[in-house]
Chains A and B, each alone.
Chain A
Amino acid sequence: MREEPILQVKNLRKQFGTGCVECREVENRKLEKNFCKSCGTVYACQDISFDLYPGEILGIVGESGSGKSTMMQCLYFDSDVSSGEAFINTSELEGKNVFELSSQQKRAIRNHVYGMVYQNPVHGLKMDFSSVGNIAEKLIAAGNRNVAEMEATSRRLLESVHIPLHRMKEEPRNFSGGMQQRVQIAKALSNNPPILFLDEVTTGLDLSVQANVLDLIKKIQRDLGISMIVVSHDLAVIRMLADRTIVLLNGKIIEEGLTDQVLEDPQHEYTQQLVYSLL
């Protein structure tokens, strides 16, 4: 089985601050968690490398502040990396570090290759556009011009995430958290992206709504074969969804493996604490 990853991330680094003599050297920087006490620089992502394979769900777990959202924002080009590479395995992009592309090329990748569901729906949705309008916006960005067709696509997508027909013209700011997340998912799927990023999509939802969203994500994987990176601090969510899992601590990958293996036979001290506290 010679399988190529659809997305390859190599040595992704993201720091907030310029660094100082105490922390500039990667090998022996003295940090308090991810923070340099001398100059206040935050090393949010330190040397993150992984492969994402076609059709798989890759889980990312880690405590608050471990760098999960920062990593997702870097991958989605919402913020620039400090250094590192990412390669997308399509014929046009082969061999190109996508972090170094022009902003126009990055926009094209967001419009055609990526979908993103943000931890906070405010970042993923225009709260004063209708739900259909939100999706149409993404479809227009992806090059669609046919209004009737876009409306039909929006309806189909919103229906697939169980937003009732009579509420589709409504603005998502009127919706519950779970509904907003589902509109975000519908929007993220509208350009048929081969790669989907999901940041804490079920956090803060009550259990039955959460089950609903988890089921939807699994269904998307089964039916559409989309590759996904699913970020969560909730191991139960990761257990349900992810084939393989990466554990982040202070911006570094400290463990990775098959999800059940990471949960049942954790190797790293920190992962053991994380898992035992769940039992």
Chain B
Amino acid sequence: MSMLEITDFGKRFTIHHLGKTMPAIEHINFSLEAGEFIGIVGKSGSGKSTILKSIYRTYLPDAGEILYQSDRFGEVDLAKLSERQILYLRKYEIGYVSQFLSVMPRTTCRQLVTNALLEMGESEEVALMEAEKSLAHFELDPKLWDSYPNTFSGGEKLRLNIAMATVKKPRLLLLDEPTASLDQQSKVKVREIIEKLKNKGTTLVGIFHDIEFMDGLCDKVFDMQTRQLTVAKEAVGYES
């Protein structure tokens, strides 16, 4: 059984003040086994983020199915699952990382990662320890741990986001353009992070505009333009 199976998925947006309904994506199909890493590619506006946000239910899906193999609930359709169950999955099973950081104001980097664990019911002591480990693991400079992240660089914000999401050890991690607007060195770091996560068995869905950068890591690539799923070996040297 696949970890994630998206069948004939579609999402449209109705903007009332324009009196318009616009389909963002239609007839999306792909699936992913446990421990696999799928990359989604396609040009800007093609609907990549819409897919990810629909899996996480930040967007309300309206056509098709998003079947997910949950540890707690067994097979569920994320498109129809109750809100309380979605909240449970976000807490314990599914993580989401974007390039944007939206966090409690005036909360330090260390506290943010610690809170992610406290929310799961972890003890204060364990949470603090794991938070430090995670920040170190993702190579955030210890000088930054006790400062507020609103002044962080793009790469630092991203690594904090990844730390907050992965410290919870999600089974499924959604990454929206984790390499966008990063310099080469930071991108290499992100690649290493993804490699580490993959080695730990995390199932990953990532959006990349420069998928070549993930060569050798991605198991599958889904192309928004052709709506085709390619297995990675054939995708080597892929050009978007």
A-to-B contact residues, CB < 8 Å? 1, 3, 53, 56, 207-208, 211-212, 214-215, 218, 222-223, 239-240, 243-244, 257-258, 260-261, 264-265, 267-269, 272-273, 276
Contacts and interface: CB of A to CB of B under 8 A. Distances in A.
Given A261-B59, A265-B53, 15 more contacts: A207-B105, A208-B106, A211-B104, A214-B104, A215-B104, A215-B107, A223-B118, A244-B87, A260-B58, A265-B59, A267-B14, A269-B17, A272-B16, A272-B17, A273-B17
- Most B-side CB within 10 Å, residue of A239, A261, A267: A261
Contacts of A56: 84, 87
How large, as a class, is the contact surface on chain B?
A: 20 to 34
Contact of A218 (B58, B102, B104): B104
Contacts of B85: 1
B186 interface: no
A218 B15 CA distance: 33
B106 A265 contact: no
Contacts of A222: 115, 118-119
Given A257-B60, A269-B17, A1 B88 contact: yes
Contacts of A1: 72-73, 84-85, 88
Contacts of B125: none
Interface in B99-127: 102, 104-107, 115, 118-119
Given A1-B72, A258-B57, A267-B60, A211 B106 contact: yes
B86 interface: yes
Interface string B29-48: 00000000000000000000
A244 B73 CA distance: 21
B84 A53 contact: yes
B58 A258 contact: yes
A239 B115 CA distance: 16
A258 B104 contact: no
11 contacts: A1-B72, A1-B84, A1-B88, A53-B84, A239-B102, A264-B58, A264-B59, A265-B58, A269-B16, A272-B15, A272-B17
Interface in B71-93: 72-73, 83-88
A258 B106 contact: no
B105 A265 contact: no
Contacts of B105: 207, 211, 214, 240
Given A215-B106, A264-B53, A243 B87 contact: yes
A22 B71 CA distance: 55
- Most A-side CB within 10 Å, residue of B13, B58, B88, B118: B58
B230 to A, nearest CB: 30
Interface string B193-206: 00000000000000
- Most A-side CB within 10 Å, residue of B85, B104, B105, B115: B105
Contacts of A218: 104, 115
A257 B83 contact: yes
Contacts of A264: 53, 58-59
A215 B13 CA distance: 34
Contacts of A267: 14, 60
A211 B104 CA distance: 8
A3 B58 contact: no
A275 B22 CA distance: 19
A39 B33 CA distance: 64
B60 A261 contact: yes
A268 B83 CA distance: 18
Nearest to A271: B16
A273 B18 CA distance: 11
A207 B104 CA distance: 12
Nearest to B16: A269
Nearest to A256: B83
B86 A258 contact: yes
Interface in B45-66: 53, 57-60
